[in-house]
């Protein structure tokens, strides 16, 4: 393992972790960067007795840049990024827009209602970014176990260093993935927060563990793991050093906890064998979550589209009893064009962009559809439904195929479903003549 330390143009630290000892990384950063702004404060929320980090300066941070402007990809001669090297395995650097910083100080006007001096503190701590692949389109689940081992070594290195910073009481490596949870950069990356307070969930975990030891003489985490392994129903994956299971009181549709078999205080306490055994099981769990998540998203979109078509058909007085829905495969492709197609339609119909009338990515407006005047003749009605559905879901029928599609539809709503299945053939690049 090779560890290379350098500084970025604005003075932030950057560390490369390489599995090969002969890896050479570029150390100088040619960019001209302004100094990092650190206006973070901690405010005490007296209502629930929790610290809250308020970091107003982060509003200007890079938000969802296009792939060719990605600040986490390796640098090229034309475009320097946050990572000066032209390649990397794992690289960790201080966040340019940190929520917590060792340079944080109290603002002149702390702006809290409670006048107690303890109600506001500087947002002291550290926020680091962990890039674990130079591949913009990869994910943690796509890493080889050996790459995960390098990430693990980076986490351990950072834990050992960050916990020595004055005032830091918890070091927390994590990965947020997906725009749904607020990720602002698509390039796969994790973060490490060095907190100046114990976050609420950790505090409760520790308190529960302490109480359990007092009452039983045993450790709670040992007992939970033993109970899950004895029961076995919720075990997702296991190897000699780790057990992955769905907790009995899971809070999320997909939630898996990964416990080391041996109780330990922190990541640096993992043995060599335990570090080695982590990659295969973590990646296995992530891959299974991805498959589950993708299936669920497809099902949801499919239901959404089915409701839409059904609502349209019903609003036109058609029999929807036999309607079986739109296939997920068709939906997956159609949904990708959803926004663009809506925008084109909106410009045509309203002479204004879609977003000017529809505030969010709302699901198909079934109510609006239901208000359409009913078409009495079933054949004509189904044809209109089909046309509307194709337009809504961004399906472009190639010339000549629209007539053939209408031709295979009969007067029942079941045909709409069949027709939508057939519409797959009309998606560009798929089976069309």
From the list 136, 174, 176, 130, the residue with the least C-alpha distance to 154 is 130
Pick the binder of Zn ion from 2, 57, 136, 219 (CB under 5 A).
136
**How many residues at the interface with Zn ion, by CB under 5 A?**
5
User: What radius of gyration do the chain's Cα atoms show?
Assistant: 27
At closest approach, how far in Å is the CB of 87 from Zn ion? 13
Q: How far is the CB of 140 from Zn ion (least distance, A)?
A: 14
What is the 3 state secondary structure string of 356-376?
A: HHCCCCCCCCHHHHHCCCCCC
Identify the bridge partners of residue 90 per DSSP, sorted by sequence position. Answer: 17
18's enclosing H/E stretch is: strand 13-18
Instruction: Give the other-Cβ count within 10 Å of 110's Cβ.
Output: 15
Q: Which stretch binds Zn ion (CB under 5 A): 130-138, 249-257, 321-329, 373-381?
A: 130-138
CB 38 within 8 A of CB 123: yes
Q: DSSP letters along 277-330, please?
A: HHHHHHHHHHHHHHHHHHHHHHHHHHHHHHHHHHHHHHHTT---TT-----HHH
Question: Which of the residues 210 through 229 are near Zn ion (CB under 5 A)?
Answer: none
Least Å distance, CB 141 to Zn ion, is 17
What is the x/- site pattern for Zn ion, positions 17-56, by CB under 5 A?
----------------------------------------
| Catalytic pick among 136, 187, 189, 212 | 189
| 115-123, 162-170, 180-188, 241-249 -> range binding Zn ion (CB under 5 A) | 180-188
One residue of 12, 25, 58, 187 binding Zn ion per CB under 5 A: 187
Q: Measured from the CB of residue 283, what is the shortest distance to Zn ion in angstroms? A: 20
| The two three-digit tokens of residue 74, written as one number | 């390796």
Candidate ranges 19-27, 112-120, 181-189, 284-292; the one touching Zn ion (CB under 5 A) = 181-189
Minimum distance of Zn ion from residue 72's CB (angstroms): 5
Judged by CB under 5 A, the stretch of 20-28, 30-38, 128-136, 307-315 that binds Zn ion is 128-136
- Strand pairing class (2-7; 13-18): antiparallel
Region binding Zn ion by CB under 5 A among candidate stretches 187-195, 241-249, 279-287, 364-372:
187-195
Which residues make beta-bridge pairs with 7? 13
Phi, psi of 145 (to 5 degrees): -50, -35
Catalytic annotation present for 189 = yes
Question: Is the CB of 67 or the CB of 248 nearer to Zn ion?
Answer: 67
Q: Decide: is 183 part of the binding site for Zn ion (CB under 5 A).
A: no
Residue placing its CB nearer to Zn ion in the complex, 36 or 70:
70
Looking at beta carbons only, is 65 or 145 nearer to Zn ion?
Answer: 65
Q: Is residue 19 within 8 Å of residue 89, measured between CB atoms?
A: yes
How many CB atoms are closer than 10 A to CB 160? 13
- Shorter beta-carbon distance to Zn ion: residue 78 or 108: 78
Lookup: tokens for 428 = 């560009």
CB of 20 to Zn ion, least distance (A): 22
Whole-number Å distance between alpha carbons of 281 and 240? 10
Note whether 124 and 100 are within 8 A (CB). yes
Smallest separation, CB 177 to Zn ion (Å): 14
* Closest CB to Zn ion among residues 72, 120: 72
Given strand 120-122, what is the order of strands in its sheet?
50-54, 41-45, 120-122
Minimum CB distance to Zn ion smaller for 133 or for 159? 133
Both tokens assigned to 334: 């159609």
Under DSSP, the state recorded for 364 is P
233 phi, psi to nearest 5 deg: -65, -30
Q: Pick the closer one to Zn ion by CB: 188 or 311.
A: 188
Question: Considering only residues 62-121, where is the footprint of Zn ion by CB under 5 A?
Answer: 70, 72-73
- Name the site residues for Zn ion (rule: CB under 5 A): 70, 72-73, 136, 187
Which residues are identified as catalytic? 189
């Amino acid at each position: 393992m090779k560890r290379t330390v350098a500084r970025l143009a604005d003075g932030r630290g950057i560390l490369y972790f390489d599995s090969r000892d002969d890896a050479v990384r570029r150390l100088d950063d040619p960019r001209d960067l302004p100094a990092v702004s650190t206006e973070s404060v901690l405010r005490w929320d007296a209502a629930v007795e929790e610290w809250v980090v308020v970091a107003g300066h982060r509003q200007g941070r890079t938000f969802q840049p296009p792939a060719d402007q990605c600040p986490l990809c390796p640098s090229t001669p034309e475009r320097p990024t946050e990572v000066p090297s032209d390649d990397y395995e794992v690289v960790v650097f201080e966040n340019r827009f940190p929520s917590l910083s060792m340079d944080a100080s109290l603002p002149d006007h702390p702006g809290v209602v409670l006048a107690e001096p303890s109600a506001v503190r500087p947002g002291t701590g550290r926020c680091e970014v962990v890039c674990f692949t130079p591949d913009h389109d990869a994910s943690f689940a796509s890493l080889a176990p050996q790459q995960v081992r390098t990430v693990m070594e980076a986490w351990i290195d950072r834990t050992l260093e960050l916990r020595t910073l004055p005032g830091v009481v918890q070091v927390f490596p994590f990965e947020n993935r997906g725009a749904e949870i607020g990720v602002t950069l698509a390039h796969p990356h994790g973060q490490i927060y060095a907190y100046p307070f114990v976050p609420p969930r950790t505090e409760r975990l520790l308190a529960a563990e302490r109480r359990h030891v007092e009452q039983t003489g045993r450790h709670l985490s040992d007992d939970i793991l033993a109970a899950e392994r004895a029961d076995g129903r919720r075990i997702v994956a296991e190897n000699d050093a780790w057990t992955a299971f769905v907790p009995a009181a899971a809070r999320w549709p997909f939630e898996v906890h990964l416990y080391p078999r041996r109780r330990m205080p922190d990541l640096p306490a993992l043995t060599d064998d335990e570090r080695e055994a982590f990659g295969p099981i973590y990646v296995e769990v992530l891959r299974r979550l991805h498959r589950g998540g993708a299936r669920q998203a497809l099902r949801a979109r499919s239901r959404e589209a089915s409701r839409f078509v059904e609502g349209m058909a019903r609003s036109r007085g058609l029999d929807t009893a036999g309607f079986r829905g739109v296939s997920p495969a068709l939906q997956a492709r159609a949904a990708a064009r959803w926004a663009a197609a809506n925008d084109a339609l909106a410009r045509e119909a309203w002479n204004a962009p879609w977003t000017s009338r529809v505030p969010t990515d709302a699901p198909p407006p079934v109510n609006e559809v239901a208000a359409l005047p009913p078409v009495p003749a079933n054949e004509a009605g189904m044809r209109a439904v089909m046309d509307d559905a194709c337009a809504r879901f961004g399906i472009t029928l190639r010339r000549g195929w629209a007539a053939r599609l209408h031709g295979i539809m009969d007067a029942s709503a079941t045909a709409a479903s069949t027709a939508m299945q057939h519409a797959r053939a009309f998606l560009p690049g798929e089976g069309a003549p």
